[in-house]
Every structure is written in C-alpha cells, then in structure tokens.
Amino acid sequence: MTIVEYRGFAGVRLEAEMIGADNDPAVLLIHGAGQTRKVWTGLADSLQKAGRRVISLDLRGHGGSEWPDDGRYDFEALVEDLRAVLAQMGTRPVVVASTLGGWIACAALERDAALLASGLVLVDLPVDIDPSVSERIGQRLREATNLAPGQAQWDVRLFDAFDTDAMTERLAGVASNIAVPTLYVRGGISELVSHGDAAAFVDQLPDGELIEVDDIAMVVTDDRADALSAHLIDFMERRAPRSSPEFREGSDARTFRDALGCFATGVTVVTAMDPDGLPIGLTANSFTSVSLDPPLLLVCIANNAGSAPILREAGHFAVNVLQIGQQPTSNRFAGKGEDRFAATPWEVGEFGTPVLTGSLGSFECEQQDVHDGGDHFILVGRVLKAIFEPRRDPLLYFRGKYRKLHFA
C-alpha cells in the first residue's frame, strides 16, 4: 500500500491509498459523508486481486486529507477537487462513488466525462435530494461528531456547509450528460432510494445499467464487499476491459493523450506580463526547439487555459524549464484558485518577462509567430536570452506522472 497525494481546488491537499500494479487499469473509490477511504478496504482488496490498481481517496475535511483553515466545504469545491484529482491521475479510472461521493462524481463528470474517466459506478446514491434524505445524511454526520475528542474522522464544519438547495440545483438534469458507461448499484431494501426512482435515473443515463443487491439496505458495508465486488468486476470486465489501449481517428481525445504520454518530456512554466503589468503563467510540457539560426523555440498552449488570451497577445514571454526540486511549482501553475507567484521565487528578466529563479533554464523570448493548432495554439518565440544551470537534474513527466533520471 502506498500513500499518494493530490492537489484539489485552491491547492487543498487530498490524501489517498493506492494498491495494485502501476500498469493495471485504475479504479478510484470515493466515500460518502461522515466516512473515510477505510470504508472501501474490503472492496479495494477484491479489486486488486482482480487485477485492478485501486486508489481510495479521502475527501477534503475527511480522514487524512487537509481540513482547510477557511472551512471551504461547499459542493462546488468538492466537485472541483474530484476533477483536479482525475486530471492528475494520468489515466482514466473507473470512478466508484457512494452517497455524497456519488453526487460529487455525477457533477464532476457532467462535462468532459470521457476525458476524465472510463466508467462510473454509483453505489447507494439517493437520486432525489429531499429533506428526509438530507436529514438521514445529517444524522450520520452528527453521530460521527459524538466520538471522543480528537477521534472524529471528518471536520464538523462540513455539516454547516451541507446546502441541499444548492446541490439540487447543481444536479438537475445531470444524468443525461454523463457520457461514460455507468452502473447504478442499489440495496434491494434501501431506504435512501426506491426501485422506481433508481430505474428512472438510470433511464436518463446515455449508457446506464441498474443492479440491485437483495436483502440489504446499504451496499457499502464491509460484510457485503463480496457482493459489491462481484458486480463491479463483471461491469469493468465488460465495459472497461484489461486490454491494450488503441487510438484511431474519431476515438476520444483522452486515449490520444494517453498515447502521447508514452513520450517522456521535461516540464516548463510559460510566463508573461498581462496588460496591467502583473505576472501570469501556466505549466506546459509541449515544448521544443525549432531553429538554431535564428534561435527559435515553440510551446503549445491550450486555447481554454486561463492565461491563453494573454500569452497569445504577449509581445514577450519566457519559458522556464523546471528542475527536479520544482515539482510543487509545476503543480501550482497547473492548478486553479491559487496565487501562483506569491509562493514562487521569481524576478523580472532583462526583457520584462517573469523569470522563475532556480529553474534548470529560462528562455526570454520575443513573440515570432502564433499558429492555430486544433484545441491548442502554437506560440513561436525568438530567443533573446537564455540562462541555465547544467548541474541540476530535470523534472520529467511520463505517462501522467513525474519522473526522475535513473542514470548519470
């Protein structure tokens, strides 16, 4: 078992346990309110034995994940946490989520689902967010607070942020937009959702299945892990089989991204000044030299990146190549909701661009040309100045993970 960390919305640290081989298909487990990743222990073991790599995540304010000082536990923050984790995983897992975790997963996969996940399994999900359901969830949270001091497994402030009206509005019509194979698992005598409501929800899914486990109310219990795992393994072998991935034109974009991930790259942060003289920047690894004479380089920027409009129009920009100790910098500039430069050493370079101090190399450039390239644009720069440190090792990125050199 390995402890792994992800960065959620506004940089919140999210902790998870991972078991299984790196090359096995991934499954991401998301617990419900007032629980932790430990609720999945039995299921995780079964899935690992079936040849799956299992990541059990603690939501913010639960278990080993950060309990943010600002008490930010609104539903949208939880949704953005999950989207951030999926983006950092470097593969498209099957997401398995129960109760509150199921609501979060539905909202997170309402858009770009096929880019983030290969399947979704919803367990014990109340599809009608009515006051009685909310009260049952609230009662579970209250019971958790009755533990001895220091023993609570979730932040008590979470209950104050539990806004049923906001979630109802956010989740309205979400089912019809979840564009991945989805399995709904319901306890046969569930008090959280009726058979009719569950069936109606599944009918709205573009590609949905309903399974009911007889004679139990809640499926997510240790003593029924065998029943749940049997259904999950069957679903995954049919809908997310263990096979060599293949991309063909017209396939989903994430498969193509996974194929490109087989090419190891360095990691850069591209920076510039906005019209108000404030620094902006983002992480990019689509970077290469173009010409030695004249000295040209290029970097590819996603059109939907927050800093893209400024970089497209910038007369000057810098490409900062990161060294092995700058992984936090890479994460910071790849995330959202954080003052990226406040926690990053930098200075204004000779040609007016933000230069990240301590980088492996920094190239100050004058914009030479901009070319459209599908969902990215290609920014070509004429190098005016380059500074570099040849004695440091690079920060590498391969198959969705940071790597380091294994030889001199």
Residue 278 shares a structural domain with residue 239: no
Residue 197 shares a structural domain with residue 48: yes
Task: Find the CATH number of the domain harbouring 104.
Answer: 3.40.50.1820
292 Cβ contact list (under 8 Å, min separation 6): none
End position of a domain, from candidates 215, 250, 285: 250
Residue 129 shares a structural domain with residue 69: yes
**Mean predicted confidence (pLDDT) in 39-58:** 92
Q: Give the residue numbers spanning the domain of 381.
A: 261-403
pLDDT of residue 280: 95
**Mean predicted confidence (pLDDT) in 352-376:** 96
**Mean predicted confidence (pLDDT) in 381-406:** 90
- 373 assigned to some structural domain: yes
User: What confidence tens digit (pLDDT) does each residue in 278-320 have?
Assistant: 999 999 999 999 999 999 999 999 999 999 999 999 999 999 9
End position of a domain, from candidates 189, 221, 250: 250
- 211 assigned to some structural domain: yes
Q: How far apart are CA 256 and CA 273, in angstroms?
A: 33
- Of 296, 269, 273, which is closest to residue 285 (Cα–Cα)? 269
Residue 239 shares a structural domain with residue 288: no
Residue 265 shares a structural domain with residue 222: no
- 256 assigned to some structural domain: no
23: confidence class by pLDDT, cuts 50, 70, 90: confident
**Mean predicted confidence (pLDDT) in 249-276:** 89
User: What confidence tens digit (pLDDT) does each residue in 82-116 have?
Assistant: 999 999 998 899 999 998 899 999 999 998 888 89
Alpha-carbon distances, residue 142 vs 8, 136, 286, 392 (angstroms)? 26, 10, 49, 52
Pairing assessment for the beta strands 182-187 and 208-213 based on DSSP bridges: parallel
Tell me the three-class secondary structure of 292-325, residue by residue. Answer: CCCCEEEEEEECCCCCHHHHHHCCEEEEEECEHH
pLDDT of residue 359: 97
Neighbours of 201 (CB within 10 A): 23
Residue 280 shares a structural domain with residue 224: no
Question: How remote is the C-alpha of 320 from its chain's centroid?
Answer: 24
User: What confidence tens digit (pLDDT) does each residue in 170-225 have?
Assistant: 888 899 999 999 999 988 777 778 889 899 999 999 999 999 887 776 666 545 66
Coil, strand or helix at 341: coil
- 324 assigned to some structural domain: yes
**Is 402's pLDDT higher than 80?**
yes
Full DSSP string of 139-187: HHHHHHHTSPTT--SB-THHHHT--HHHHHHHHTT-GGG--S-EEEEEE
150: confidence class by pLDDT, cuts 50, 70, 90: very low
**Is 139's pLDDT higher than 70?**
no
Residue 100 shares a structural domain with residue 180: yes
Task: Find the CATH number of the domain harbouring 381.
Answer: 2.30.110.10
- 255 assigned to some structural domain: no
Residue 281 shares a structural domain with residue 244: no
pLDDT of residue 335: 86
What tokens does 179 get? 């564009």
How many domains does the structure of the chain reveal? 2
Query: For tokens 């920047």, what's the residue?
Result: 281
Residue 236 shares a structural domain with residue 268: no
Residue 305 shares a structural domain with residue 197: no
Coil, strand or helix at 292: coil
Neighbours of 374 (CB within 10 A): 10
pLDDT of residue 408: 46
What single letter denotes the amino acid at residue 78?
L
- Of 35, 42, 54, 55, which is closest to residue 226 (Cα–Cα)? 42
Q: What is the mean pLDDT of the chain?
A: 88
- 354 assigned to some structural domain: yes
- 95 assigned to some structural domain: yes
- 408 assigned to some structural domain: no
End position of a domain, from candidates 250, 284, 308: 250
